[in-house]
Structure 1
Amino acid sequence: MQHKRLLTGAACCIFPVFAHAAVATSLACPTSVPATSIKLDAVPAGWTSYIDSPLYLSAAAPIDGAPERRGQLVPSGERKKKGHTTLSYRLEGSYPEGKWLQCRYGVHGEVTLSRKMDDSVSMCEFTYRKGRKAGQNEIDIDCR
Protein backbone atom coordinates (compact mmCIF):
# COMPACT_ATOMS: atom_id res chain seq x y z
CA MET A 1 0.00 0.00 0.00
CA GLN A 2 2.80 2.39 0.86
CA HIS A 3 4.44 1.67 -2.53
CA LYS A 4 1.24 2.73 -4.29
CA ARG A 5 1.18 6.05 -2.44
CA LEU A 6 4.78 6.76 -3.44
CA LEU A 7 3.99 6.18 -7.12
CA THR A 8 0.93 8.42 -6.95
CA GLY A 9 2.97 11.11 -5.22
CA ALA A 10 5.68 10.94 -7.88
CA ALA A 11 3.10 11.06 -10.67
CA CYS A 12 1.54 14.22 -9.25
CA CYS A 13 4.92 15.93 -9.26
CA ILE A 14 6.22 14.77 -12.67
CA PHE A 15 3.16 15.23 -14.90
CA PRO A 16 2.78 18.99 -14.30
CA VAL A 17 6.36 19.43 -15.54
CA PHE A 18 5.42 17.78 -18.83
CA ALA A 19 2.31 19.93 -19.09
CA HIS A 20 4.46 23.09 -18.97
CA ALA A 21 7.16 21.83 -21.34
CA ALA A 22 7.56 23.68 -24.65
CA VAL A 23 5.51 22.04 -27.36
CA ALA A 24 7.10 21.97 -30.81
CA THR A 25 4.95 23.53 -33.51
CA SER A 26 4.91 21.63 -36.77
CA LEU A 27 5.65 24.10 -39.54
CA ALA A 28 6.90 23.39 -43.03
CA CYS A 29 7.22 25.45 -46.17
CA PRO A 30 5.89 23.99 -49.41
CA THR A 31 8.90 22.69 -51.38
CA SER A 32 7.94 24.70 -54.47
CA VAL A 33 5.44 27.05 -56.08
CA PRO A 34 4.01 25.22 -59.12
CA ALA A 35 4.55 26.81 -62.53
CA THR A 36 0.78 26.68 -63.11
CA SER A 37 0.23 29.08 -60.20
CA ILE A 38 2.68 31.69 -61.52
CA LYS A 39 1.16 34.30 -63.80
CA LEU A 40 2.62 37.44 -65.36
CA ASP A 41 0.20 40.31 -65.96
CA ALA A 42 0.80 43.46 -67.98
CA VAL A 43 3.79 42.18 -69.95
CA PRO A 44 5.18 44.67 -72.48
CA ALA A 45 3.25 44.91 -75.75
CA GLY A 46 4.32 42.33 -78.32
CA TRP A 47 5.75 39.91 -75.73
CA THR A 48 4.33 36.56 -74.67
CA SER A 49 5.10 35.09 -71.26
CA TYR A 50 5.80 31.41 -70.69
CA ILE A 51 6.64 29.76 -67.38
CA ASP A 52 7.76 26.14 -67.66
CA SER A 53 9.12 25.27 -64.22
CA PRO A 54 8.23 25.78 -60.58
CA LEU A 55 10.03 28.10 -58.21
CA TYR A 56 11.83 26.12 -55.51
CA LEU A 57 12.16 26.94 -51.81
CA SER A 58 15.34 28.94 -51.21
CA ALA A 59 14.94 30.42 -47.71
CA ALA A 60 12.66 30.59 -44.68
CA ALA A 61 12.55 32.69 -41.52
CA PRO A 62 10.17 34.11 -38.95
CA ILE A 63 9.09 37.70 -39.56
CA ASP A 64 7.53 40.40 -37.37
CA GLY A 65 4.03 41.02 -38.71
CA ALA A 66 2.43 40.46 -42.11
CA PRO A 67 4.74 40.13 -45.16
CA GLU A 68 4.01 43.60 -46.57
CA ARG A 69 5.38 45.04 -43.30
CA ARG A 70 8.81 43.56 -44.21
CA GLY A 71 9.64 42.81 -40.58
CA GLN A 72 12.76 40.73 -41.24
CA LEU A 73 14.40 39.39 -38.08
CA VAL A 74 18.10 38.77 -37.42
CA PRO A 75 19.08 35.26 -36.31
CA SER A 76 20.27 35.01 -32.70
CA GLY A 77 22.65 32.15 -33.55
CA GLU A 78 24.17 30.09 -36.36
CA ARG A 79 25.70 26.59 -36.35
CA LYS A 80 27.34 24.73 -39.25
CA LYS A 81 27.84 20.98 -39.32
CA LYS A 82 28.41 18.50 -42.17
CA GLY A 83 26.65 20.39 -44.98
CA HIS A 84 23.91 21.73 -42.70
CA THR A 85 23.47 25.27 -41.45
CA THR A 86 21.10 25.94 -38.56
CA LEU A 87 19.84 29.46 -37.87
CA SER A 88 18.19 30.14 -34.48
CA TYR A 89 15.68 32.90 -33.76
CA ARG A 90 14.47 34.03 -30.33
CA LEU A 91 10.93 35.32 -30.61
CA GLU A 92 10.48 36.86 -27.18
CA GLY A 93 8.83 40.18 -26.52
CA SER A 94 5.92 41.94 -28.14
CA TYR A 95 4.70 41.20 -31.66
CA PRO A 96 1.52 43.33 -31.96
CA GLU A 97 0.92 42.22 -35.56
CA GLY A 98 1.83 38.60 -34.85
CA LYS A 99 4.69 36.25 -35.60
CA TRP A 100 4.74 34.97 -39.15
CA LEU A 101 6.65 32.28 -41.05
CA GLN A 102 7.92 33.49 -44.42
CA CYS A 103 9.00 31.03 -47.14
CA ARG A 104 10.99 32.44 -50.07
CA TYR A 105 11.06 30.92 -53.57
CA GLY A 106 13.35 31.43 -56.55
CA VAL A 107 17.13 31.80 -56.59
CA HIS A 108 16.89 35.26 -55.01
CA GLY A 109 13.63 34.79 -53.07
CA GLU A 110 11.57 36.63 -55.68
CA VAL A 111 8.26 35.12 -54.47
CA THR A 112 7.16 34.59 -50.86
CA LEU A 113 4.46 32.58 -49.14
CA SER A 114 3.72 33.50 -45.52
CA ARG A 115 1.46 32.31 -42.74
CA LYS A 116 0.80 33.45 -39.21
CA MET A 117 2.36 31.38 -36.41
CA ASP A 118 0.95 30.76 -32.96
CA ASP A 119 1.67 33.62 -30.54
CA SER A 120 3.11 31.16 -28.01
CA VAL A 121 6.13 30.35 -30.25
CA SER A 122 9.22 31.78 -28.53
CA MET A 123 12.07 30.10 -30.45
CA CYS A 124 12.61 28.67 -33.93
CA GLU A 125 15.47 26.82 -35.61
CA PHE A 126 15.80 26.55 -39.39
CA THR A 127 18.18 23.85 -40.65
CA TYR A 128 19.29 24.27 -44.28
CA ARG A 129 20.65 21.65 -46.70
CA LYS A 130 21.36 22.24 -50.37
CA GLY A 131 18.61 20.93 -52.64
CA ARG A 132 18.97 19.25 -56.04
CA LYS A 133 17.79 22.23 -58.12
CA ALA A 134 19.66 25.51 -58.67
CA GLY A 135 19.11 27.80 -55.70
CA GLN A 136 16.97 25.21 -53.89
CA ASN A 137 17.34 24.52 -50.19
CA GLU A 138 15.69 21.84 -48.09
CA ILE A 139 14.73 23.44 -44.80
CA ASP A 140 13.66 21.74 -41.56
CA ILE A 141 11.73 24.05 -39.24
CA ASP A 142 11.54 23.48 -35.48
CA CYS A 143 9.52 26.06 -33.55
CA ARG A 144 8.46 25.88 -29.90
Structure 2
Amino acid sequence: MMKWFYLLALCASFTEACAASFKIECPAQIASTSLRLSGTPTGWRGHVSSPLFLHNAAPIDGPPEDLGSLMGETIKESKNHWVIRYSLDGPFPKGKWFTCDYGSLNEVSLSRQLPGNTMECTVTGRKGVHAGENTFEIVCRN
Protein backbone atom coordinates (compact mmCIF):
# COMPACT_ATOMS: atom_id res chain seq x y z
CA MET A 1 0.00 0.00 0.00
CA MET A 2 2.76 2.45 0.92
CA LYS A 3 4.66 1.78 -2.34
CA TRP A 4 1.50 2.49 -4.39
CA PHE A 5 0.93 5.79 -2.55
CA TYR A 6 4.58 6.76 -3.07
CA LEU A 7 4.30 6.01 -6.79
CA LEU A 8 1.16 8.16 -7.07
CA ALA A 9 2.92 11.02 -5.29
CA LEU A 10 5.93 10.64 -7.57
CA CYS A 11 3.70 10.71 -10.68
CA ALA A 12 1.95 13.83 -9.47
CA SER A 13 5.31 15.54 -9.04
CA PHE A 14 7.05 14.29 -12.17
CA THR A 15 4.58 13.80 -14.99
CA GLU A 16 7.35 12.73 -17.40
CA ALA A 17 8.04 9.67 -15.28
CA CYS A 18 4.42 8.58 -15.66
CA ALA A 19 3.73 9.61 -19.22
CA ALA A 20 0.41 8.51 -20.67
CA SER A 21 0.58 5.66 -23.14
CA PHE A 22 -1.92 4.70 -25.82
CA LYS A 23 -2.31 1.87 -28.29
CA ILE A 24 -2.76 2.05 -32.03
CA GLU A 25 -4.52 -0.76 -33.87
CA CYS A 26 -3.99 -1.07 -37.59
CA PRO A 27 -6.81 -2.80 -39.46
CA ALA A 28 -5.69 -6.36 -40.23
CA GLN A 29 -6.53 -6.04 -43.92
CA ILE A 30 -8.02 -3.88 -46.62
CA ALA A 31 -10.96 -5.71 -48.15
CA SER A 32 -10.86 -6.46 -51.87
CA THR A 33 -14.18 -4.59 -52.21
CA SER A 34 -12.40 -1.43 -50.99
CA LEU A 35 -9.83 -1.62 -53.80
CA ARG A 36 -10.70 -0.30 -57.25
CA LEU A 37 -8.59 -0.15 -60.39
CA SER A 38 -9.03 2.96 -62.50
CA GLY A 39 -7.34 4.14 -65.65
CA THR A 40 -7.01 0.62 -67.01
CA PRO A 41 -5.93 0.37 -70.66
CA THR A 42 -8.65 0.35 -73.28
CA GLY A 43 -10.13 -3.10 -73.68
CA TRP A 44 -8.88 -4.34 -70.31
CA ARG A 45 -11.04 -4.93 -67.26
CA GLY A 46 -9.63 -4.86 -63.72
CA HIS A 47 -10.49 -7.24 -60.91
CA VAL A 48 -9.20 -7.40 -57.31
CA SER A 49 -9.53 -10.98 -56.12
CA SER A 50 -8.23 -10.86 -52.55
CA PRO A 51 -7.66 -8.45 -49.67
CA LEU A 52 -4.35 -6.79 -48.92
CA PHE A 53 -2.97 -7.89 -45.55
CA LEU A 54 -1.16 -5.71 -43.04
CA HIS A 55 2.58 -5.92 -43.66
CA ASN A 56 4.26 -3.00 -41.83
CA ALA A 57 3.48 -0.44 -39.14
CA ALA A 58 5.59 2.55 -38.07
CA PRO A 59 5.50 6.23 -37.17
CA ILE A 60 6.48 8.62 -39.96
CA ASP A 61 7.63 12.24 -40.26
CA GLY A 62 4.80 14.21 -41.84
CA PRO A 63 1.83 13.07 -43.93
CA PRO A 64 2.16 9.82 -45.93
CA GLU A 65 2.68 11.51 -49.29
CA ASP A 66 5.94 12.98 -47.92
CA LEU A 67 7.36 9.43 -47.49
CA GLY A 68 9.00 10.45 -44.20
CA SER A 69 10.25 7.06 -43.00
CA LEU A 70 11.97 7.02 -39.61
CA MET A 71 14.77 4.81 -38.36
CA GLY A 72 13.88 2.88 -35.25
CA GLU A 73 16.05 1.14 -32.68
CA THR A 74 15.74 -2.65 -32.89
CA ILE A 75 15.20 -3.94 -29.37
CA LYS A 76 14.61 -7.60 -30.25
CA GLU A 77 14.76 -9.50 -33.51
CA SER A 78 14.22 -13.10 -34.52
CA LYS A 79 12.81 -14.81 -37.60
CA ASN A 80 9.16 -14.52 -36.50
CA HIS A 81 9.17 -11.75 -33.86
CA TRP A 82 10.68 -8.27 -33.54
CA VAL A 83 10.44 -5.15 -31.39
CA ILE A 84 11.39 -1.69 -32.70
CA ARG A 85 11.34 1.53 -30.69
CA TYR A 86 10.93 4.86 -32.47
CA SER A 87 11.91 8.12 -30.78
CA LEU A 88 9.67 11.03 -31.79
CA ASP A 89 11.66 13.70 -30.01
CA GLY A 90 12.70 16.67 -32.11
CA PRO A 91 11.09 18.87 -34.74
CA PHE A 92 8.26 17.52 -36.91
CA PRO A 93 7.14 20.60 -38.88
CA LYS A 94 4.38 18.71 -40.71
CA GLY A 95 3.34 16.65 -37.70
CA LYS A 96 3.91 13.17 -36.35
CA TRP A 97 2.00 10.47 -38.20
CA PHE A 98 1.54 6.70 -38.01
CA THR A 99 1.24 4.49 -41.08
CA CYS A 100 -0.13 0.98 -41.53
CA ASP A 101 1.13 -0.51 -44.79
CA TYR A 102 -0.55 -3.29 -46.77
CA GLY A 103 0.65 -5.73 -49.41
CA SER A 104 3.98 -7.56 -49.38
CA LEU A 105 5.73 -4.46 -50.77
CA ASN A 106 3.70 -1.91 -48.75
CA GLU A 107 1.77 -0.92 -51.89
CA VAL A 108 -1.14 0.69 -50.00
CA SER A 109 -1.12 2.58 -46.71
CA LEU A 110 -3.59 3.91 -44.17
CA SER A 111 -2.18 6.74 -42.06
CA ARG A 112 -3.33 8.97 -39.24
CA GLN A 113 -1.83 11.92 -37.44
CA LEU A 114 -0.51 11.36 -33.92
CA PRO A 115 -0.94 13.85 -31.10
CA GLY A 116 1.85 16.44 -31.27
CA ASN A 117 3.13 15.50 -27.79
CA THR A 118 3.78 11.84 -28.73
CA MET A 119 7.38 11.13 -27.76
CA GLU A 120 7.88 7.45 -28.58
CA CYS A 121 6.25 4.44 -30.22
CA THR A 122 7.20 0.80 -29.73
CA VAL A 123 6.12 -1.63 -32.44
CA THR A 124 6.09 -5.35 -31.67
CA GLY A 125 5.65 -7.45 -34.80
CA ARG A 126 5.01 -11.11 -35.53
CA LYS A 127 4.63 -13.10 -38.74
CA GLY A 128 0.99 -13.62 -39.70
CA VAL A 129 -0.72 -16.65 -41.18
CA HIS A 130 -1.02 -15.32 -44.76
CA ALA A 131 1.93 -14.78 -47.11
CA GLY A 132 3.44 -11.35 -46.41
CA GLU A 133 1.10 -10.73 -43.47
CA ASN A 134 2.34 -9.48 -40.10
CA THR A 135 0.51 -8.64 -36.89
CA PHE A 136 1.48 -5.78 -34.60
CA GLU A 137 1.09 -4.49 -31.09
CA ILE A 138 1.75 -0.75 -31.09
CA VAL A 139 2.18 1.31 -27.94
CA CYS A 140 2.99 5.01 -28.03
CA ARG A 141 3.57 7.39 -25.14
CA ASN A 142 3.31 11.10 -24.62
Aligned with residue 75 of structure 2, among 59, 78, 92: 78
**Matches of 2:77 and 2:7, distance apart in 1:** 40
Q: CA deviation at 1:18?
A: 7.4
**Matches of 2:14 and 2:116, distance apart in 1:** 20
Q: Please tell me whether Structure 1 or Structure 2 has the larger radius of gyration of its CA atoms.
A: 1
Residue correspondences, number: 137
Q: How does 1:107-118 map to 2 (within 5 A)?
A: 107-118=104-115
**Matches of 1:26 and 1:113, distance apart in 2:** 16
Identity across matched positions, percent: 38
**Structure 1, unaligned runs of 5 or more:** 1-8
User: TM-score, normalised to structure 2's length?
Assistant: 0.87
**Does residue 1:30 correspond to 2:27, yes or no?**
yes
**Does residue 1:45 correspond to 2:42, yes or no?**
yes
Query: What SS is found at the alignment partner of 1:129?
Result: strand
**Root-mean-square deviation over aligned CA pairs:** 2.2
Q: CA deviation at 1:12?
A: 8.0
Q: How does 1:121-140 map to 2 (within 5 A)?
A: 121-140=118-137
**Does residue 1:64 correspond to 2:57, yes or no?**
no
**Structure 2, unaligned runs of 5 or more:** none
Residue type matched to 1:26 in 2?
A: K
Query: What SS is found at the alignment partner of 1:68?
Result: helix
Q: CA deviation at 1:14?
A: 4.0
| Counterpart in the other structure of 1:89 | 86
